[in-house]
Amino acid sequence: MNKKKLAAISTVLCLMISGCSSKEETAEASDTADTNSIETADTKETTLISKDDIAIDETYENDEDGGHAIEVSGTEASYANIAVKKTGDSSGDEADFYGENAAVYAYDGATLNLSKIVVETDGTHANGVFSYGEGTTVNISDSLIETSGNCSGGLMTTGGGTMNAENLNVHTTGNSSAAIRSDRGGGNVNVTGGSYITDGKGSPAIYSTADITVSDAYLESTSSQGVVVEGQNSVTLNDVTLVADNVSKNSDKSDTYQAVMIYQSMSGDADEGLASFTMNGGSLTNKNGDIFFVNNTVAAISLSDVTIVNEDAEGVFLRAEAAGWGSEGSNGGHVTLYASRQNIDGAILVDDVSDLNLYLKDSSVFTGSINPAGEEGEVYVEIEKGSQWTLTEDSYITSLTCDADAIDLNGHKLYVDGAEYEESQASEGEAIEAVLSSSSDHGGSMPEMPADGGHGPGEGGTPPEKPDGEKPSGKPGDHNG
C-alpha cells in the first residue's frame, strides 16, 4: 500500500494519500508522503500499520462470485501474518446482510482471531472482514484492509455479531463502502486506534445500524458524511479525530450535505426508536454543509469537550427537519442535544414537524441563533448556571429555563413562546416530550442525561430473516451505491 502521513495542523489533521479509483468514479488525492503516522486529537502520535510492517507467511485467495478466502463457522480459529486477496462479485442482500462474497467471513457462533494480516478486495459487494450472527466474534488487530469495489466495507457486522478491532489501517474507495459498516440485525463494534478513510459516494467512515464505539482513532470521509446513525442504534466516539467532506449524494432525498446524519430510512434495516451519537473529547471538522442533520427519528446527541471546526461558512450547526424519508408531516427530527464543557457555534434550525431540547451544562457556551427566520418547531433551551448563550441573530424558541445572567442578546431579540425576552431575566420553562411519529407503534420519549456522557445499551439484534424482495431505500450507504 502507498504510505501515508497524517500530520496535525492546528486542531485538525491534513491527510496525504495517493490517488485511487473505484469502478464507477475516481477520487482525487494528494501525493504520497514518506512516513506512515497519525497524530490523533489527544496529541498521541500513532504509527499506522502498513504492508511493509507485516511479514506474510501464507496467502489465501478466492476469485469466485460469492465465495470467501477464509470462512469460519461455529468454532474458534486464529490467523496471523497472512495476506488475503478476494475478487469476484455478488449483489444485494445475501452480501450485505449475510456475508456472501466477504474476503474473511465468520458466522454461526464462531470466534475468529486475526493479527497482522493484509486484506485486499476488488469486487462488487466484497466486504473485507465480516462478523455475522449472535455469538459470533471477530477480534482483529495490527492489520491493513483495502477494498476498491462498490458496496465493499472494511469491517462489516450484521445479525447481532461482534467486531473488536485494534490498530487497523482501513481504506475503501468504492461507493457505499463505509470503513466501519453494519447492516440489518446490527451488533456490537468496538474499535481502538488506527485510521479509517473512505473515498466513495455514500461511504461514511462509520455507517451504524449497530452499537459502535471508536476510541483514539482517525476517521475521514472525502465524499460522504463522516458518520451516519440509522434508527435505534448508536455511535460513541472517544478522543477521535473526525474529518468529513460530504461533497456527493447517494440519493436526492436530502437537500443538504452533512458531517453527521441521524435518521430512519424505513427500509427495515434498523429498528425504530432512539438513535444516539456521543462524542467525548477529540475533534470534528466539517468541510461542507451542515454539522448535524436529524430526520425521521428521535435522537440524543451528547457532546463533551469536543473541538468543532466548521469550514463551511453557510453550514448550520444542527438541522432537524423533514426530508425524503418517512411519511410527509410526521418525518421530522426529534432531538435532545446535551452539551457539557462544550463550545457550540452556528445556527440551529428546527422545522415545523421537528422539535429540540437543548441543554447547556458545565460551562458550555452557545454562540448562535435558533430559527432566526421565525418560529417553526418547538424548542426548549435549558442553560445551567455557568453556561451561556450569546445570540448572533434574532431567535425564536418555545420554552426557556435559565438564570438572569445566562443570555447575552448581543443586540438581537429572543422570543419565547411569542413573547420578547428581556435580558437579565431568569426563566423557568418545561422540556418537550420528544415522540416519534410514524406508522409503527414505536415511540421515544425524551432520554435522560447520560451520567457519563455515553449511552445506554442498545437492543441486541437477532439474525434477520431472509428478506423477501426488499428494495433499496436510497439511503446513504445503500446496497445499490
- Asked if 159 and 130 count as a contact pair (C-beta separation under 8 A), the reply is no
Per-residue pLDDT, 396: 98
**pLDDT attached to residue 391:** 98
**Structure confidence at residue 424 (pLDDT):** 95
pLDDT at 345 over 80: yes
Query: What pLDDT is stored for residue 137 in this prediction?
Result: 98
Q: Is 75 inside a domain boundary?
A: no
Is residue 176 located within the same domain as residue 290? yes
Domain end (from 397, 420, 443):
420
| pLDDT at position 437 | 53
Beta bridge pairs of residue 460: none
Q: How many CB atoms lie within 10 A of CB 3?
A: 17
Pick the last residue of a domain from 374, 405, 420.
420
CB 243 within 8 A of CB 223: no
Nearest-angstrom CA–CA distance, 17 and 32? 5
Write down the pLDDT at residue 405. Answer: 96
Q: How many CB atoms lie within 10 A of CB 388?
A: 18
- Are 33 and 147 found together in one domain? no
Domain finish residue from 396, 420, 444: 420
Q: Is residue 335 part of a domain?
A: yes
3-state secondary structure (DSSP) of residue 61: strand
Bridge-based pairing state of the strands 45-47 and 37-39: antiparallel
Flag whether pLDDT at 58 surpasses 80. yes
Contacts of 267 (CB under 8 A, 6+ apart): 470, 472, 473, 475, 478
- Give the list of residues 6+ apart from residue 82 with CB closer than 8 angstroms, or none: 56, 57, 58, 59, 60, 117, 118
Tell me the Ramachandran region of residue 324: left when phi exceeds 0, alpha when psi lies from -120 to 50, beta otherwise.
alpha
DSSP-assigned states of every residue in 248-317: --S-SS-SS-EEEEEE---SSSS-SSEEEEEEESSEEEE-SSEEEEEESEEEEEEEES-EEEE--TT--S
Confidence at residue 252, expressed as pLDDT on a 0 to 100 scale: 77
Q: Using the 8-state DSSP alphabet, how is residue 351 labeled?
A: -
Looking at residue 36, what is its pLDDT?
62
pLDDT per position as a tens digit, 28-39: 333 333 336 666
Q: Quote the pLDDT of residue 460.
A: 32
Residues 269 and 382 in one domain: yes
Predicted confidence (pLDDT) per residue in 104-159, tens digit = 999 999 999 999 999 999 999 999 999 999 999 999 999 999 999 999 999 999 99
What is the three-class DSSP state of 29?
coil
Residue 106, pLDDT score: 98
Average pLDDT for residues 45-50, to the nearest whole number?
Answer: 79
How confident is the model over 321-338, as a mean pLDDT? 86
Contact yes or no for 424/405 (Cβ under 8 A): yes
| Residues 121, 126, 129: CA angle, nearest 5 degrees | 80
Sheet harboring 365-368: ordered strands across?
343-345, 365-368, 388-391, 407-408
Q: Tell me the per-residue pLDDT of 240-249, one tens digit each, with 9 for 90 and over.
A: 999 999 999 8
Q: Is residue 433 part of a domain?
A: no
CB 275 within 8 A of CB 297: yes
| pLDDT, tens only, 198-249 | 999 999 999 999 999 999 999 999 999 999 999 999 999 999 999 999 999 8
pLDDT average, residue stretch 316-342: 90
In the DSSP assignment, the letter for residue 400 is: E
Q: Does the pLDDT of residue 85 top 60, yes or no?
A: yes
Contact criterion met (CB below 8 Å) for 400 and 417: no
Helix (H) or strand (E) holding 93: helix 93-96
383 falls within a domain: yes
**118 within domain boundaries:** no
Q: What is the model's pTM? A: 0.85
Q: Are residues 34 and 144 in the same domain?
A: no
Band the pLDDT of 44: cuts 50, 70, 90. Answer: low
**pLDDT category of residue 352 using cuts at 50, 70 and 90:** very high
- Domain assignment present for residue 230? The answer is yes
What is the C-alpha to C-alpha distance for residues 36 and 54, in angstroms, rounded to an integer? 14
Asked if the structure places residue 65 within a domain, the reply is no
**Residue 425 half-sphere exposure, CB side, CA atoms within 13 Å?**
13
Question: Which residues make beta-bridge pairs with 107?
Answer: 73
Residues 178 and 293 in one domain: yes
Half-sphere exposure at residue 8, Cβ-oriented, CA atoms within 13 angstroms: 14
* pLDDT tens per residue across span 244-297: 999 998 877 888 999 999 998 867 776 778 999 999 999 999 999 999 999 999
The amino acid present at 203, given as its one-letter code, is S
In a shared domain, residues 40 and 138: no
Structural domain tally of the chain?
Answer: 2
Residue 463 pLDDT exceeds 60? no
Cα 460 to its chain centre, rounded Å, is 19
Work out the pLDDT band at 45, boundaries 50, 70, 90.
low
361-412 pLDDT, tens digit per residue, is: 999 999 999 999 999 999 999 999 999 999 999 999 999 999 999 999 999 9
pLDDT band at 446 (very low <50, low <70, confident <90, very high): very low
Separation between Cα atoms, residue 267 and residue 245, nearest integer Å: 26
**Domain co-membership, 197 together with 305:** yes
Which residue range forms the structural domain that includes residue 25?
5-44
pLDDT range class, residue 353, cuts 50, 70, 90: very high
State the chain's mean pLDDT as an integer: 85
Q: Is residue 263 part of a domain?
A: yes
Mean pLDDT in residue range 339-365: 98
